[in-house]
Amino acid sequence: MHNIAHFPAEAQIFISTARKIAALRTTARRKGEDTQYSIDALEGVLTTLAPLVEPDARIICEIILANCPKVLDTIMLAHAKGCYAMPGIHSDEMMEISAHIITSPEVEAATRFVDAGAVISLPAGSRPLIDVIIREDCPRRLSLLVAMRNQRPTFENDIIEVLKSAGLQTAKNLAQLQDDGVLDLCEIMSNTSLDEMTLKEFAWFIASSTDFDKYFIHHELEAIAPAEVVSLIAMTASNHGRLRLSELEPSLSALGAAEPWDTFFGLTSPDTHLLKDAKKKLGKEGCLEDNS
pLDDT mean values, one per 10 residues, the chain (292 residues): 85 96 94 92 96 90 96 86 68 94 96 92 89 97 96 93 96 95 92 90 88 80 86 84 84 92 91 90 47 42
Rounded to whole angstroms, the Cα distance separating 196 from 176 reads 26
Domain membership flag for residue 118: no
Domain count, the chain: 2
Domain membership flag for residue 34: yes
Which residue, 104, 135, 152, sits at the end of a domain? 104
Rounded to whole angstroms, the Cα distance separating 63 from 17 reads 10
Looking at residue 136, its amino acid is: E
Which residue, 60, 79, 104, sits at the end of a domain? 104
Rounded to whole angstroms, the Cα distance separating 52 from 227 reads 68
Over the stretch 90-117, which tens digit does the pLDDT of each residue have?
Answer: 899 999 999 999 999 999 999 999 998 8
Half-sphere exposure in the Cβ direction for 198 (13 Å, CA):
20
- Kindly report the pTM of this predicted structure: 0.88
Specify the pLDDT at position 126.
Answer: 87
Half-sphere exposure in the Cβ direction for 272 (13 Å, CA):
10
CA neighbor of 220 nearest in space, from 209, 238, 233: 233
User: 241 is in which domain, residue-wise?
Assistant: 186-292
Rounded to whole angstroms, the Cα distance separating 262 from 269 reads 8
Same domain, 191 and 288: yes
